[in-house]
Amino acid sequence: MDEVTSAERNSEPREPGPDAGQLVRAVVEYDGTQYFGFQIQANAATIQGGLEAALQKIGGAPVRIVGGGRTDAGVHAAGQVISFRFPWAHPLDDLLRAMNAHLPPDIAVKAIAAAPEGFHARFSATGRRYRYSLFGSRIRSPLLERYAWRVDAEPDMALLNAASDLLIGEKDFGAFGDAPSGDSTVRCIRSAAWRRHGPLLVWDVEANAFLRRMVRTLVGTMVSVATGQRSLEGMAQLLSSQDRSLVAPPAPATGLCFMEVLY
């Protein structure tokens, strides 16, 4: 299951009770290019802020949503899940249409349904799945680069997968990211593999939970192996050493997409 500490639970705003409306879950897709991440911030455009503004316009009162994952600035999503309570006396399909009518073009609700009591988009999750996309080219591609990382030389696919295989299982990934709260940096990667998808190389990874910047830092380090900047053995040593000074810089946010929340 997703590792959630009592400190993390206590830091979340207390959710309203059933008298605030029915509990709803929705799947959201967004292009994160113009946003400072998912989580709401003062004086910054965020995905959560956009969704809550749309609901306030529909219902006439503030609504607090919960996301299944907190994507960073510039990160995209195909399958973010949100939960919230909303006083709505009509079919939920009408709420989906109303939300999309009030959302900006780069945020869309793809599906909506009633959620069982006790459901929480984040704390009920048992896993999450991300995809990272990149391509090798010395010439810029404005269309591809909106959603993928361009590297000058295409990485060696066999080395990418050899590096990826080292990551599977329960390990301490402290060298590759920060814990959202608490001290534990142990996570379990259930599956991870690189494949070719048209002009792109994509990495699909599923874990019980992720550290902050973990996926992008792992990708940056795997690419450094697959382009000859470090050895495969060196990456294996990184996993055991926990020396953050030795990891590669995080890959750009533009190539990362939050694909699915598992329940």
Mapping DSSP onto H, E and C, the string for the chain reads CCCCCHHHHHHCCCCCCHHHCEEEEEEEEECCCCCCCCCCECCECCHHHHHHHHHHHHHCCCCCCEECCCCCCCCEEEEEEEEEEECCCCCHHHHHHHHHHHCCCCEEEEEEEECCCCCCCCCCCCEEEEEEEEEECCCCCHHHHCCCEEECCCCCHHHHHHHHHCCCEEEECHHHCECCCCCCCEEEEEEEEEEEECCEEEEEEEECCCCECHHHHHHHHHHHHHCCCCCHHHHHHHHHHCCHHHCCCCCCHHHEEEEEEEC
Check if 6-114 and 127-262 are the same fold.
yes
Please say if 243 is a catalytic residue.
Answer: no
pLDDT score of 2 more than 50: no
| pLDDT of the residue at 11 | 46
pLDDT score of 111 more than 80: yes
Architecture of domain 6-114: 2-Layer Sandwich (3.30)
What would the mean pLDDT of 27-49 be, rounded to a whole number? 97
pLDDT score of 3 more than 90: no
* Per-domain boundaries in the chain: 6-114, 127-262
Q: What is the pLDDT of residues 156-204, one digit of tens each?
A: 999 999 999 999 999 999 999 998 877 799 999 999 999 999 999 999 9
| pLDDT of the residue at 244 | 86
pLDDT band at 19 (very low <50, low <70, confident <90, very high): low
Among residues 72, 165, 172, 243, the one annotated as catalytic is: 72
Specify the residue for token string 């979340």: 12
pTM for the full predicted model: 0.90
Fold held by 127-262: Alpha-Beta Plaits (3.30.70)
pLDDT score of 84 more than 90: yes
